[in-house]
Amino acid sequence: MWSVLQMYSSPGAPSVRARDWDTMDGIQRQLETLCEEVERQLKSKLHLQIGNLVRQYLPQTWIFETELGACSIYIDIDGNARVWHGAERERDITLIWRFDALAKVLESKDRSSVEPGDYPTVLVQTEKGRAAFNYLKKEFGL
């Protein structure tokens, strides 16, 4: 199986620089892009009648861990999203997966981009995290 680094450095591969994916910087950039969309969706819902229901599931902290490091996502009560390197202590979800598998799925937003049976370990620390993860996981390709 090709790793993301090999795939992006191969002749004829998509025009993404391989070095973007050789550290957690690439994962962080993908999460930032995905969080922009999640933030737009959340903020549009927070202004509707359903907003009070949505706020019950906020704030959220998700950790994405690989063998190369971790990135954290935090979404506050107003739907503002932030992404950074490192793992927060308090969390709602921890997703643990091989770096290359996580990179492929985040890039493609398609779970089928990795081998069948290759699943992340998802640790649920809170029930509000479980509900939010089940609702948003497709946005991340999970």
pLDDT tens for the chain, residues 1 to 142? 333 333 333 344 333 344 455 678 999 999 999 999 999 999 999 988 888 888 999 999 999 999 999 999 999 999 999 999 999 889 999 999 999 999 999 988 888 888 888 889 999 999 999 999 998 888 888 8
What CA–CA distances, in Å, run from 10 to 2, 26, 107?
10, 18, 17
DSSP-H helix ranges across 74-137: 99-108, 127-136
pTM, two decimal places:
0.80
pLDDT of residue 8: 35
pLDDT of residue 114: 85
Name the nearest CA neighbour of 127 among 56, 63, 66, 24: 56
User: Please, is 115 exposed, middle or buried when counting C-beta atoms within 10 Å of its C-beta (0-12, 13-18, 19+)?
Assistant: exposed
Strands annotated E in 1-142: 60-66, 69-75, 81-85, 93-96, 121-124
Neighbours of 129 (CB within 10 A): 20
Provide CATH code, domain 23-140.
Answer: 3.30.1050.10
